[in-house]
Amino acid sequence: MNIVKLSALLSGVVLLAGCATSGMEATGKTEGDPAYAKHLVIHNEPLANVITITDMRSRFKGGLLEVNIELSNLSSSDKSIQYRFSWYDGDNFEVEQGSRSWIPVVLHGKSSVNMQAVAPNSSVTTYKVNVREL
Partner 1 sequence: MKLSKQSIQVETGKRLKSAGVLLVAGLLSVSLIGCSKAIKYGDAAEVETTTTSFGSTDLQQIAAKMVDSVLTFPPIVEITSKRRPVMFVDTIKNKTSEHIDTESITDTISSRLLRSGKFRFVDMTKVAALKKQLDYQNDSGMVNQNTATKMGQQIGAEYMMYGNLSSIVKRNSSRKDVYYKFTLKLIHLQSGIVEWSDEKEIRKSKEKSLFGL
Establish if 98 lies at the interface with partner 1 (CB under 8 A): yes
Report the nearest approach of partner 1 to the CB of residue 116 (Å): 7
Q: Of 8, 104, 108, 109, which lies in the binding site for partner 1, with binding defined by CB under 8 A?
A: 104
DSSP labels, 114-132? EEEEE-SSTTEEEEEEEEE
Residue 6 phi, psi (nearest 5): -65, -45
What span, in angstroms and rounded, lies between the C-alpha atoms of 23 and 41? Answer: 9
Least separation, in Å, of the C-beta of 59 and partner 1?
A: 10
| 124-133 and 23-29 beta bridge pairing | antiparallel
CA distance 118 to 133: 23
Residue 99 in the binding site for partner 1 (CB under 8 A): yes
Q: Which is nearer to partner 1, 53 or 85 (CB)?
A: 85
**Contacts to partner 1 by CB under 8 A:** 61-64, 66, 82, 84, 96, 98-104, 116-118, 120-122, 134
